[in-house]
């Protein structure tokens, strides 16, 4: 009989493409991955891995079994969801991620509510950028991820995922109080053609959105500084080193010396939670989505409406 954990290891290898990637995704050592694969090869009586330079690749038999493993693991997840639904209890472990401002702005209230209402539920959360959160849910490392896209740049999601909206999060331009536009009621992005931008890391979804949006207005952005965290960006703004786009979620407290001015064309990012479709019936998933949406609604009630 095929061992489920060894099939899970094979599935991770197929998804990540390397022993080190599979080990990281499964939170085990590379040696453990190799041992599991050796045992699985003995079980099936065929080679599943072949050397490929310094790494490995799946053989034809390995790819065939990996396809079956993905379906078997999906069925196991469905069985788990059905059993949880039949029992009707919100219990067990739930692994969640959120991008930094959502981890700060949404998780404290939502997770505290979950813990109070469902003491048998063990919560494990971490900060991850949206792309990493999506990958974690697809791999099965995470049960839920809070991710985002922008009003003019949606994030593509792989098949097999479900999503629910949490919040439409407005964004302003943050600038030093001495900036020439600091006293304005609203501004246009095109007016910042000569300013240095403080943005996110190269290749991050929000950075790519900002570059796309500015270039669509005929502006070649001057990027002076990069920082993943909103409050690090705002600290650089306070020092007079540039301007940045600052969403409402997780913004407070604003540092002294910084003012946020709304944009004429309202800029919003869509915040939502994703999970695997085969886990849709798990009571713990439904409880977490409910708590996250309730936290988003409370924040949304304070959001200024676009004119």
Q: What average pLDDT does this structure show over 207-231?
A: 92
Task: Look over the chain and give the mean of its residue pLDDT values, rounded to a whole number.
Answer: 88
Q: Are 212 and 184 in contact (CB under 8 A)?
A: no
**pLDDT tier for residue 86 given thresholds of 50, 70 and 90:** low
**pLDDT tier for residue 307 given thresholds of 50, 70 and 90:** very low
**Structure token pair of residue 79:** 């069985």
- What pLDDT, in 10s, does the model give residues 240-295? 999 999 999 888 889 999 999 999 988 899 999 999 988 888 889 999 999 999 99
Instruction: Identify the burial level of 54 via C-beta atoms within 10 angstroms of its C-beta, where 0-12 means exposed, 13-18 middle and 19 or more buried.
Output: exposed
Closest CA to 170 of 191, 155, 186: 186
> What pLDDT, on the 0 to 100 scale, is given for residue 54?
78
For residues 24, 28, 31, 35, the Cα torsion angle rounded to the nearest 10 degrees is -120
Closest CA to 121 of 86, 161, 84: 84
> What pLDDT, on the 0 to 100 scale, is given for residue 123?
95
- What pLDDT, in 10s, does the model give residues 18-48? 888 888 777 688 888 889 889 999 988 989 9
Percent share of the chain, pLDDT over 70: 94
Predicted confidence (pLDDT) at residue 3 exceeds the cutoff of 60 = yes
Predicted confidence (pLDDT) at residue 102 exceeds the cutoff of 90 = yes
Predicted confidence (pLDDT) at residue 125 exceeds the cutoff of 90 = yes
Q: Are 171 and 268 in contact (CB under 8 A)?
A: yes
Q: Which of 76-85, 124-133, 201-210 has the lowest mean pLDDT?
A: 76-85
Predicted confidence (pLDDT) at residue 305 exceeds the cutoff of 60 = no
* Domains of the chain as residue ranges with CATH: 4-85 (1.10.10.10), 93-166+270-300 (3.40.190.10), 168-268 (3.40.190.10)
Helix axes 19-26, 4-16, angle to 10 degrees: 120
Helix, strand and coil percent figures for the chain, each rounded to 5: 45, 25, 30
Q: Are strands 92-98 and 144-150 parallel, antiparallel or unpaired?
A: parallel
Q: What average pLDDT does this structure show over 213-240?
A: 93
Predicted confidence (pLDDT) at residue 238 exceeds the cutoff of 90 = yes
> Per this entry, what is the length of the chain?
307
Helix (H) or strand (E) holding 126: strand 121-127
């Amino acid at each position: 009989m095929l061992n489920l954990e060894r099939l899970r290891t094979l599935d991770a290898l197929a998804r990540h493409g390397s022993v080190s990637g599979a080990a990281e995704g499964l939170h085990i050592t590379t040696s453990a991955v190799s041992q599991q694969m050796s045992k699985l090869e003995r079980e099936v009586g065929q080679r599943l891995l072949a050397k490929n330079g310094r790494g490995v690749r799946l053989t034809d038999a390995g790819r065939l079994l990996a396809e079956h493993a993905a379906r078997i693991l999906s069925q196991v997840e469905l069985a788990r969801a059905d059993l949880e639904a039949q029992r009707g209890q919100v219990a067990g472990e739930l692994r969640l991620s959120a991008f930094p401002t959502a981890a700060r702005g949404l998780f404290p209230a939502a997770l505290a509510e979950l813990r109070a209402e469902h003491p048998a539920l063990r919560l494990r959360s971490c900060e991850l950028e949206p792309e990493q959160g999506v990958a974690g849910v697809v791999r099965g490392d995470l049960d839920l991820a809070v991710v985002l896209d922008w009003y003019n740049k949606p994030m593509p999601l792989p098949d097999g995922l479900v999503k629910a909206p949490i919040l439409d999060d407005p964004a302003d331009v943050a600038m030093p109080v001495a900036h020439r536009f600091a006293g304005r009621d609203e501004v246009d992005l095109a007016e910042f053609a000569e300013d240095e931008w403080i943005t996110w890391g190269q290749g991050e979804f929000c950075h790519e959105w900002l570059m796309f949006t500015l270039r669509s207005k005929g502006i070649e952005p001057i990027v002076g500084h990069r920082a993943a965290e909103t409050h690090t960006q705002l600290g650089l703004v306070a020092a007079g080193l540039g301007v940045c786009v600052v969403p409402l979620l997780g913004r407070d407290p604003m540092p002294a010396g910084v003012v946020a001015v709304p944009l004429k064309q309202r800029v919003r990012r869509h915040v939502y939670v994703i999970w695997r479709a085969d886990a849709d019936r798990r009571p713990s998933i439904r409880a977490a989505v409910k708590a996250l949406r309730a936290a988003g609604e409370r924040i949304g009630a304070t959001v200024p409406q676009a004119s």
